[in-house]
Structure 1
Amino acid sequence: MVATRFDIEKFDSVTNYNLWQTLSAIQLYLVNRVLQEVLMDKISSTLWK
């Protein structure tokens, strides 16, 4: 398996902003995915009653 590597300059306001946007989008997707799984789980709702 070959690892992909990216060379990113130390500071570039455009690059850093784009990386921040990408990271935020990934985090939002993962949070939404987990919340959907929790909301669809019937066992967790009975535990809290």
Structure 2
Amino acid sequence: MTTTRFEIKKFNAITNFNLLQVQIMAILVQTGLKKVVIGKKA
């Protein structure tokens, strides 16, 4: 089993929350996990 790690700055008052959401969703799409998170069947 392989582990993939991504460097994402943690959310704080300075970081734009929408940008954080976009970055996380992009990683989920790349790893094929978006459907799992949003609850759609594969």
Q: Same fold, TM exceeding 0.5? A: no
Q: TM-score normalised to the size of structure 1?
A: 0.35
- Relative to its length, the structure with more helix (as a share) is 1
Q: TM-score normalised to the size of structure 2?
A: 0.41
User: Larger radius of gyration, structure 1 or 2?
Assistant: 1
- Highest relative contact order (Cα 8 Å, sep 6+), 1 or 2? 2
